[in-house]
Structure 1
Amino acid sequence: MSSALSVYLTKTLPNNYLSESALIAFKDEAAHIVIGDNEEENLRRIQKAGRQLDTQGVTAISVKGQGWDKERQWSLSLGFTSTLSRNHIQWTAEVADELQQISDVYRFTRELINLPAEDIYPVALAERVASHLTELAPDHVSYEMIKGEELKQAGWMGIYTVGRASQHEPAMLVLDYNPTGDANAPVESALIGKGITYDSGGYSIKPSEGMLSMKCDMGGAATVSGALSLAIRQGLKKRVKLFLCCAENMIDGRAYKLGDIITYKNGLTVEVVNTDAEGRLVLADGLQAAGEAGAKQIIDAATLTGAAQMAVGNEYNALFSVDDEAATTALACAQQEHELLWRLPLNRWHAENCPSPYADTANSRPQKGGGAGGASNAAGFLLRFAPNDGQGWLHFDLAGAFQKSATSMWPAGATAMGVRTIAATLAR
């Protein structure tokens, strides 16, 4: 594309009238991004420069000159985009195929999250993911979808209860990626995604401004689906099962109410004290399904709590686990993939932090945001359902999955942050 703007890296400002904090200088019909000696800060500067180029109306760029390794080019790509843009980047030939692979997965993931709930409802989400992964590996993918009253009959009461009030029936997607050629091969990993395609809060209704971005509440389902897509493209040879727990959390005469008690397939009873703490109710079904599949490694991802955002902001995702070895692996993968991930506290006693006089546990505490330690208590609730006493289980609370408005680093909308980390963790 001859009309693409050439973009170079430089350590010296090409124009002496610019301040030392300048990110970009334009000279000889090219953009020069100013970097320094700290590589992590360089990646941030390059991503910010990409945002500036996008907001200035540039639609095509070509990386030129020295210093453009894969991660620097990817950082530029993360900034040089927006929800509506069709921007184009000419990568360097050495890494073009690899970067295009990641870019295609991110586009798929971000589109799922950014589309309105009118287009992405529970069954539609499951169908889009199943179609995408089947097209990617037709000889190795099979799936079933359990929906509506079938969920109740199968015992998946969390998804059924949360989603029964919507005109769009709830669904669980069970997708099997098995490249081994052996129908009896063990399931090495299970991926579980929260697929709340719209979250009104139910009878614990959200305020209008809190509801505006709730099309993103299926970000966990999109993220684990994108991670599996990327891992397959990168040559994953292990059997993986994907469980998407899909529902709309809406209000009508059939909606679940505060004080209701849900009896799960494993016999555990849960009192509903907050209908806006619905994500953990559907993930509980996914965790049980992963246990039935015998998965050795279990990863769930969800836009689960505002408390995680309060702890780590929108720049990080939060990680919870009672398995130190598994958590260390995930953190190492995040560092390798240059995604920000922070481990927050989870002890076994967190499972006792939402007591109920009427059931084995409540789904939260009856106070705003679940009270102090809300993210850890939500993870503690999930620990009750995690197979193998939580060994091999990782819970990603995706605080950085969605930006309500554009920042200096990110466009408004979905970021797909976490896809690379989870894909790398699968490969380990």
Structure 2
Amino acid sequence: MNIMTVTLTTEAPASHWGKADVTFQGSLATIHLSGSDELRQVQMAARKIRNQGINYVQLDGGLWNLHSQWAFAQGFATAKAGYQVDWCGNDADKEILNHRAVAAQFARKLINDTPEDLSPLSLANQAASWLKNIGGDHVSFTIIEGQELLEKKWVGIHAVGRGSERPPALLELDFNPLGADAPVSVALVGKGITFDSGGYSLKSTEGMLAMKCDMGGAATVTAALGLAMKSGLNKRVKLFLCCAENLVSGRAFKLGDILTYKNGTTVEVVNTDAEGRLVLADGLQAASETGAGLIIDAATLTGAAVMAVGSNYNAIFSPQTATLQLAQKSAAAVSENVWPLPLDPWHKDMCPSAYADTANSRPVKGGGAGGASNAAGFLWRFVSPQANWLHVDLAAAFESSASALWAAGATTHGVLTIAELLKD
């Protein structure tokens, strides 16, 4: 196997390399740091090295640290297997990087899986199995599927998923290393739409092509919990994955339908492509029932968030300033990017309905102005007033085509932030 050694230097390249920030000499590649935004530069350099057809690298030299090695690995990763990054430095950093790599690879594979291979039940089962393998007897779970969802009053997941031949499902998982009566510290909720056609509000071909990624929230919170468990998490955490396929059929939910949720809230469906918030409403109610002091949900929820913060930040929302600050602190500690967007009480009323307490969106393209905040306002209706709540709109979870920073496909950006939040 041919191995490329990759080092860092603060020296400029020889003049014949011009302004190149990566130079090669035999089996050695050197990244020339310019001193500004070095992590971004390292990740971009990793993409350049990978694009040369290089599959196996050994990082080497004293300038590498935990953050720069992870940035390189994120740039080097692709949707196709058959590549490897060997770490350098102290054993503690190598252990952290190995744990991160396992969690990221789990999330990346799930998100990049084809919609045919990843059904709602498959997503729930794979997530539960992976966490059970990590946590052993500390992990227990149940999966509620199909018609049983209605019996349990999880009407949003059922409505969105009933148009598919493959049943929708809610995974309820409990990680409890403390004992039966331990309080739940954190509840995680993930949007698990394994394919989103838009339903009767049908997406275009271009808009639908990447919708295997619409379960990115479920993959992100699962990978984050697994990473935290591998890192010694010693608190009780419950996980809820809201899994469904949003398809068109004679059984599919329709525009004008009204859903009555477990907490009594009635919702008029004015856009079947605003389905993520309908399934998350169930998950947030389930999370609230645990009494957790902190509830975190993650979802590839709105195009409006991408328009607001771009594809290298995740948008965050919370009614509590301290919760936003904690999320920003956690993201900074692991060199990920988050940015808070507005969420005020009046955002709950920005999707009015003449027939129900609220609509699930506004009947205009993209949900209209402030769409990401309006979606967060909708979700707020289903969160316990006693809980601190963080909503993460994963604008940076997936790249439809390769960029200077990322290969096409899942990025796993957000996994480290949520894992860090679990530690705090």
Q: What CA deviation, in whole Å up to 9, does each residue of 1:211-246 have, x standing for no partner?
A: 100000000000000000000011100000000000
Deviation at 1:347, TM superposition (A): 0.3
SS in 1 for 2:136: coil
- Does residue 68 of the first structure (1) align with residue 67 of the second (2)? no
Deviation at 1:291, TM superposition (A): 1.1
TM-score, reference length from structure 1: 0.97
Deviation at 1:96, TM superposition (A): 1.8
Deviation at 1:28, TM superposition (A): 4.9
Give the AA of the match of 2:253: Y
Contact 2:267 2:357 in 1 (8 A): yes
Give the AA of the match of 1:383: W
- Aligned equivalents of 2:51 and 2:81: distance in 1? 10
TM-score, reference length from structure 2: 0.98
Deviation at 1:65, TM superposition (A): 2.0
Residue equivalent to 2:253:
256
Q: What CA deviation, in whole Å up to 9, does each residue of 1:281-308 have, x standing for no partner?
A: 0000001001111111000000000000
Residue equivalent to 1:6:
5
Residue equivalent to 1:101:
99
Q: Output the aligned Cα RMSD.
A: 1.0
- Does residue 330 of the first structure (1) align with residue 327 of the second (2)? yes
Residue equivalent to 1:133:
131
- Does residue 426 of the first structure (1) align with residue 422 of the second (2)? yes
Residue equivalent to 2:411:
415
Contact 2:3 2:27 in 1 (8 A): no
Contact 1:350 1:380 in 2 (8 A): yes
- Aligned equivalents of 1:93 and 1:43: distance in 2? 17
Deviation at 1:37, TM superposition (A): 2.6
Residue equivalent to 1:166:
164
Deviation at 1:93, TM superposition (A): 4.5
Contact 1:13 1:25 in 2 (8 A): no
SS in 2 for 1:333: helix
SS in 1 for 2:77: coil
- Does residue 340 of the first structure (1) align with residue 340 of the second (2)? no
- Aligned equivalents of 1:29 and 1:319: distance in 2? 43
SS in 2 for 1:139: helix
- Aligned equivalents of 1:405 and 1:56: distance in 2? 18
- Aligned equivalents of 1:79 and 1:329: distance in 2? 27
Residue equivalent to 1:403:
399
Q: What CA deviation, in whole Å up to 9, does each residue of 1:238-291 have, x standing for no partner?
A: 000000000000111111111110000111100000000000000000010011
SS in 1 for 2:241: strand
- Aligned equivalents of 2:295 and 2:73: distance in 1? 30
- Aligned equivalents of 1:23 and 1:205: distance in 2? 44
Contact 1:304 1:398 in 2 (8 A): yes
Using the aligned pairs only, state the percent identity: 54
Residue equivalent to 1:177:
175
- Aligned equivalents of 1:81 and 1:425: distance in 2? 25
SS in 1 for 2:101: helix
- Aligned equivalents of 2:198 and 2:4: distance in 1? 46
Residue equivalent to 2:229:
232
- Aligned equivalents of 1:64 and 1:158: distance in 2? 51
Contact 1:122 1:197 in 2 (8 A): yes
- Aligned equivalents of 1:122 and 1:405: distance in 2? 25
Contact 2:13 2:32 in 1 (8 A): no
Give the AA of the match of 2:222: S
- Aligned equivalents of 1:76 and 1:209: distance in 2? 30
Aligned length: 422
- Aligned equivalents of 1:85 and 1:294: distance in 2? 41
Q: What CA deviation, in whole Å up to 9, does each residue of 1:84-119 have, x standing for no partner?
A: 132112211512222111011100000000000111
- Aligned equivalents of 1:386 and 1:58: distance in 2? 48
Deviation at 1:14, TM superposition (A): 3.7
